[in-house]
Structure 1
Amino acid sequence: MKHHILILVENLPVPFDRRVWQEAVALIDAGYEVSVICPKGRGHDKSYEVVNGVHIYRHPLREAVSATGYFLEYFTALTYHFCLSFRVRRRRRIDVIQACNPPDLLFLVALLHKVLFGTSFVFDHHDLSPELYVSKFGRKDLLYRFLRFFEKQTFRLADASIATNEAFRDIAVERGAMAPDRVVVVKSYPEASRFRPTAADQSLTASGKHLIGYLGIMGQQDGVETLIHAFAEILHVRKRSDINCLIIGDGPELNRLKALTARLGLGQQLQFTGYLSGPTLLAHMSAFEVGVIPDPPGELNDKLSMNKVFEYMMLGLPIVQFNLGQATKEAGEAALVVPEHSPKALADGILTLIDDPARRQKMSMVGRAVAERDFCWTGEAARYLKTYTDLFRRRFEAHDQRHYSAS
């Protein structure tokens, strides 16, 4: 009988969450049965459906905008996950629960199933929940200390941990006290065959205009407001009317950012597209001349592997970003790193690249070469699946040991 994996996701719907969807499909292709519990949203609003063999159970969710809302969001989501996990179990025995943070409360669901049914637990470490809280609310209070406690308990319960990069692996080992052989790095690369430059959307390539762009979520910690102020600097202070800006994506800050754009008088030169996917997304991004990463430096962003770094490089886009440790390491010579965190400095970096097409071309070639050589989901999927192979091997060996001791 096939092993059954239940994946828990709190902050993004599936299959919108690309990393989780890639993992689920890899498991299906390897012969596992897979169920997912996740929120509704981004056009995925069915409470239950089966997509490509993956059973998806969805629940309502409203993202927090305050510290109190943060608690209520997680408590509500946790309640849904408890209830839906038993609905999943009524359909099929669960062999492993894989919890994808944030939050680090989902280990409680795994704990109950481990105690009652002997279910194994794999922690897929997407985000640094304590640092995320500080980034959003700017304080290390009682709730922050709770988050550190829950993170520690998550690692303590986990039979294996999947880290998104080497910095996260070090946290699992040093802060989480996990054995190094129980932690594997699996990076979030897009599928190279599907994420390639294409014909640019001609409506975006106005004659005599350069296009800069941003792709990603628009939350408080993502720095899109800094990009808007930088573009206002370019347009109003530097008097550069030859540059347009396109912001792709959505998130809790979208309406506020649109209002800010109107107040700054950026007119039609800064546009929001909302969420895009597939060929439409690629046609829009292929019109970019520069990809911007406005995320501010800090404890959180310095350690994150950002999807947009990989996506920009796969499309051959030169990058402008602040001095972010992990992103700077991963982008290498494909990025112009702005040392000062300010809209003015970001504007300087953008104009430096816009006014130097030869440098842009060189950065584009470097980024594409690195992406074609290193950004391979197939290799990451193999490491991901090995986590489960090793887990079931250890379970089998432990079962044999218990049987031998009993006899």
Structure 2
Amino acid sequence: MTAKQDAPRLSDLMPWSVAPLRLGRSWVRAPDPATLRARWTALVEAGDPAARERLFRPSRARTLHSAVGQLPGQATPTGRLHRASGPCPEPVRILHGPFDQQWLLPDHRLIDGARPELWRVADERQLFVVEWGQVPQLAGPPVVCSTLLPDGRAPAGRPGRIRPFYRRPGGREPNLAPGLLTLLGRRLDRPVRPTDLLAWLAASARHSPEGCAVPLTADPEIWERGVALGGRLLWLWTRGAHVDGTPGGHGGERPRMPGGRRPYVRSALPARGLPPSLGYDPEEEALLLGDGRISPVPAGAWDFHAGGVRVLEAWFAARTGTSADEPEPGSLAALRPAHWLQEWTSELLELLTVLALLSELRPQCTELQQATDDGPQLAAYELRAAGILPAPVFAHRPASVLDHHEEGPEGQFALL
């Protein structure tokens, strides 16, 4: 077996992974926080218990009488929902799918499978690596990294796996196979930081029948090129929030297209109502939102697919209700803006910028993969021979995090 055929899997290199969030009810997530507050108000102001239960949509995991503790790091009430009142839990920003930044009610009583182990390590230093399954006939990145907590839900195909890059808060204990950095550093004859490997992973990961593969070059020049390219990908994926200083990053600066190529609103989006459709004019490089018009928008941004769908179409459908999965009238999920929000325009312009810049990097990613395939590699069988793989059992499990108290059901302290 050649090194190319025996590239290690992402699951080998980053052993600890968590399943996607399982919300159980779609109304706890929305593209804007005001909608979530309106839904909460409608729930707690329901006139009778039956009406509240109908709005809540109970499941096997959650009912109005479920006794549930707080999510780590969230100061939400823990009393049972059948008697809940008062203000809405403060919505938090999350990553929905590969590129859609939305909002979530971080109340453990509302979510069937919130994955507390993710919330326990989520902080300003954390980076989440989300692995996406391959959708046949559609291109798309095999991984995306986020500083926001991701829900891991794929618009199409199978859900991804979420791999926190750090096993503990504060950027401590990288989620990497023990000994990997040392061995890789010896082969490359240079120190390898954890974030260097993350950047390499971002640039070189690829789909394979066995899951996401991450070929490891043993060529120092190819390694440096990949780390620089991956640093730029991380910067784009995190909208400038990744400030580790990896070559290719921009120190916290938000992505912007060069002057003359920045997308602008050329025809205003409707002040009343929602755009009825989304389209693209390739000759004018214009994104069409009903009568609204944004340009220039490169074809690469319009054609960008991830998670099995065109990113811009999925983003638009989530805000205009044009998807096939329409909420039931009278449900909390049906409570949503009747008009286009100004902040959505700003978010769309930033998303267009990110997708355009990512599409420009595709040729470099392809060249890097070819150079890696043609050069020397550190294969999985070498990692096994060195005792790096398989990673020890503890590396596949979350670390014990006892840095703070967590409130259990009905105000009791949780025993961790």
TM-score bracket, normalised by the shorter chain, equals under 0.3
TM-score by length of 2: 0.25
Give the alignment's TM-score, normalised by structure 1.
Answer: 0.25
**Larger proportion of helix:** 1
